[in-house]
Amino acid sequence: MNPFDIMVEYWPRLLDGTLMTLKLTFLGALIAALFSPGLALIRANTGPVAQAPLRLYISFMRGTPILGQLFLIYYGSGQFRPILQEWGLWSFFRDPFNCALLAFALNSTAYQTEILRGGIMGVARGEIEAAKAIGMTRPQILRRVTFPHAYRIAWPALGNEIILLMKASALASVVTVFDIMGRTRQIFSRTFDFSIYLWAALIYLCITAIFVLLWRQGETRLSRHIGPHSTVRSILSPPEGPKP
């Protein structure tokens, strides 16, 4: 059987795995995107005592392998079965997909929080002072000045984080959630044809290329409202001389 015959015969399984990869990646990134702005504000604007629990959480998520975090949630939840049953959460933790999604969302939240904190810290203080001078309230400053500028600064790094999350989702197959790599291993165990891994790599490349294209469109839209990054532009552009 040649590589194309394998693809034709097993494409429904690969499509099923692709949809699972997309589901895990974008649900995990979406959950992280909901929580990371508030956590980034806490990291950027509070003292060391107030943000100590958050720093501990971020350090743990960034300093340990995501595979270990996945095992900790999936297998470790069994140690707390009586408590989880009493709280009505046991059925949630018995679903491998829920555990994988929770692990990826918690991990991505830690990274997105730090990336967005860097964006907030990069907002020029003069922008904030100008907003105060024209009478904007604190919520208005956050909504119209701080976060638009912070997301523009952090946008490329956030895109990289989502791509890394998509590749990390391949680990979900160890708890019987069959994404692209999980389905690929199933097919390989039947056919023993290594070309199926090349098809899997091609699928990942296609998803990544489409995502990068869409993400750049978002970057263009952000820059359209706010303008190009003046600091980078000023560094790269030659100084203007006197006009003749």
- Determine the Cα–Cα distance for residues 204 and 180; give it in Å rounded to an integer: 8
- Determine the Cα–Cα distance for residues 244 and 236; give it in Å rounded to an integer: 23
The 10s digit of each residue's pLDDT in 15-69 is 999 999 999 999 999 999 999 999 999 988 878 877 899 999 999 999 999 999 9
SS3 244: coil
CB 10 within 8 A of CB 196: yes
Residues 172-184: what's their mean pLDDT? 90
Residues 198-219: what's their mean pLDDT? 93
| pLDDT the model gives residue 26 | 93
- Determine the Cα–Cα distance for residues 231 and 237; give it in Å rounded to an integer: 10
